[in-house]
A and B are shown apart, each in its own frame.
Chain A
Amino acid sequence: MAVPKRKMSRSNTRTRRAQWKAVAPSLVACSNRACRKPRLSHVACPSCGQYDGRQVVQPA
Chain B
Amino acid sequence: MPTPTKGARLGGSPAHERMLLANLATALFTHGRIKTTEAKARKLRPLAERLISKAKRGDLHNRREVLKVIRDKDVLHKLFAEIGPFFADRNGGYTRIVKTMPRKGDNAQMAVIELVADKLVTTEAEAARGTKFAKDEAAVAAPAVEATEEAPAAEATAETEAAAEVEATDEAKAEKAE
Chain A residues contacting B35 (CB-CB under 8 Å) are 57
The binding surface of chain B is classed by DSSP as strand
Query: Binary interface profile of A, 32-60, with partner B (CB < 8 Å = 1, else 0)?
Result: 00000000101110100001101011000
Instruction: Determine if B101 is an interface residue (Cβ-Cβ < 8 Å).
Output: yes
Return B92 CB to nearest CB of chain A, in Å: 20
List A6-52 residues whose CB lies under 8 Å from chain B. Answer: 40, 42-44, 46, 51-52
Return B74 CB to nearest CB of chain A, in Å: 27
List B88-132 residues whose CB lies under 8 Å from chain A. Answer: 98-101, 112
Interface size class of A (residues with CB under 8 A): 10 to 19
Chain A residues contacting B98 (CB-CB under 8 Å) are 44, 51-52, 54, 56
Q: Interface of A with B (CB < 8 Å)? A: 40, 42-44, 46, 51-52, 54, 56-57
Since A44-B112, A57-B112 are in contact, a sample of 16 more A-B pairs with Cβ atoms closer than 8 Å, ordered by chain A residue number, is A40-B101, A42-B99, A43-B100, A43-B101, A44-B98, A44-B99, A44-B100, A46-B101, A51-B98, A52-B98, A54-B98, A56-B98, A56-B100, A56-B112, A57-B35, A57-B100
Q: Interface of B with A (CB < 8 Å)? A: 35, 98-101, 112
